[in-house]
Structure 1
């Protein structure tokens, strides 16, 4: 591969790292072509970008950015594929879905400005709530007291209305 081609690939990886808030480093080496195609299709449906990279080029892309990704350098061995996503737990759920096959195998991740290294962190990543899930939880919590107040006022209003109607009839 020519030096210009490598430079272009490094720039593309760096652009993806800046574009997406979260990424997962996985190993999909033992997948055959059909399973790889299915995985790519599944990723596409969930808004995940799957890119197979060379470890040295990925490390150079990390080094070209302002952020310090040195915690991920030790896991850059063997085959590496990156799953880019703006939803924090989406790739983790996909990896968890295929965990019976143990492929893709999680090597590490950068999620919500935190590093996760090793396959044992997968359940923690699956349980992370996405931004939309958190907003939904907050709205539900805010609506609950308001609903209670409104229902109390409505039931109390009916009682007051009944008393006033009875008094007016007398």
Structure 2
């Protein structure tokens, strides 16, 4: 690779890092061609972009980026692949489901909404992260429940009162 090609790759990686709020670093080494193809297909279906990168170029792109990646550049050893996603927990769920059949991909680290996770032991924590849409849905549900209780109380109370008045008037 020439210097110009490397500079172009670093520039492209820096742009991708700046655009994405969810970045997973994984190790897919040792996977055969069929498993790798299945992983790429699963990523495509889940809306996750998968790319294999050179560690040195990714480290330079992280340095050039305006984001604070913390300890992530330190895990750039061996084979590294990047997963970009709009949803914070989508890559973690995909990795967990994929590992039911195989022992790879391994999670090296993740950058999710400015939080840095290092190591495969954080996979369960990443799976449990709720997406923005899930959080909005929960908040709306919590806000609606008191109003629904008041409305149902008024409806049922009105029916009871009318029934009592009708019964009294008949007597």
TM-score (norm 1): 0.94
Match of 2:155 in 1: 154
Match of 2:40 in 1: 40
- Please report the RMSD computed on the Cα atoms of aligned residues, expressed in angstroms: 1.4
| Preserved CA contact (<8 Å) 2:70 2:116 | no
Stretch deviating more after TM superposition (31-40 or 74-83): 31-40
C-alpha displacement of 1:70: 4.3
Deviations 1:19-42 (A, max 9, x none): 111110000111122211111111
In the alignment, structure 2 segments of 5+ residues that lack a partner are: none
Deviations 1:129-165 (A, max 9, x none): 1111111111111121111111111101111222344
C-alpha displacement of 1:75: 0.6
Match of 1:14 in 2: 14
| Preserved CA contact (<8 Å) 2:27 2:105 | yes
C-alpha displacement of 1:166: 4.2
Match of 2:139 in 1: 138
Q: What aligned pairs does 1:1-170 form with structure 2 within 5 A after superposition?
A: 1-100=1-100, 101-166=102-167
Distance 2:15 2:41 in 1: 22
Distance 1:133 1:102 in 2: 29
Stretch deviating more after TM superposition (52-61 or 65-74): 65-74
Distance 2:167 2:29 in 1: 80
C-alpha displacement of 1:69: 2.2
Distance 2:69 2:128 in 1: 23
> Which stretches of structure 1, 4 residues or more, deviate above 6 A after TM superposition?
none
**SS of aligned partner of 1:84:** strand
